[in-house]
Structure 1
Amino acid sequence: MRRPVEYGQFTSWVFTQKIRSAGLLPSFGTVGDGLDNAMMESFWSSMQIELLNRKKWRTRVELANAIFEYIEVFYNRRRRHSGLAYATPHDYDLAHTIQPLTAGS
């Protein structure tokens, strides 16, 4: 017996097809699997609270610049994250990256 397709799975499939037709890559999850989205949902929530809800921008360029600065300057380099032992992603990566050996070291 075939199970009926749930509405959420159908919309996920349609959304995935729209993404592909735009020349973009969808997330790595499967249809109806929301587990890979938890980290991004957390990020979007943080950005909404810490940036987007605090100001109105006059132009899209101004907003794009603010989002870029939030991600690259604040979120990755200064904001501490509980999932990274309360380090910034930048500092966590530096502490957990094996540095290659160079000649003479």
Structure 2
Amino acid sequence: REHRALLEQYALIASMSARGNCYDNAAMESWNHSLKVEAIHGEHLATREQAKAHVFDYIEVDYNRIRLRSTLGYLSPEQYELANVA
């Protein structure tokens, strides 16, 4: 009930596939795993602000610019964009 109230409050639409479809959340599960293993595991962050800054840094620097993607031919998004600008 609380979940549904939050969805309505913020006008969010939940992603739901047919019952038993295990691939619906595969991309998000993969992202959560990467975040936990590469950025959070073993870190000791004293405040919420430190945690937010740490996660932001991981997303904006490591994940979005440096991390290689199989869908981009094992290039980082930054390398891929540079190679395909011309």
Q: TM-score, normalised by structure 1?
A: 0.62
The residue that corresponds to 1:68 in the other structure is 56
Conserved? CA contact 1:77–1:88, under 8 Å: yes
Q: Give 1:27 shift.
A: 4.4
User: CA distance change for structure 1 residues 90 and 26 in 2, over 3 Å: closer, same or farther?
Assistant: farther
- The gaps in structure 2 that reach 5 residues or longer are none
Extract structure 1 runs of 4+ deviating beyond 6 A: none
The sequence identity of aligned pairs, in percent, is: 32
- The gaps in structure 1 that reach 5 residues or longer are 1-13, 100-105
Is 1:84 the counterpart of 2:75? The answer is: no
Indicate which of 23, 30, 34 corresponds to 1:42: 30
- Structure with bigger gyration radius: 1
Q: TM-score, normalised by structure 2?
A: 0.73
Deviations 1:9-67 (A, max 9, x none): xxxxx686244223052344436444232111111101111111021110111101110
User: CA distance change for structure 1 residues 29 and 89 in 2, over 3 Å: closer, same or farther?
Assistant: farther
Cα distance in 2 for partners of 1:31, 1:19 equals 22
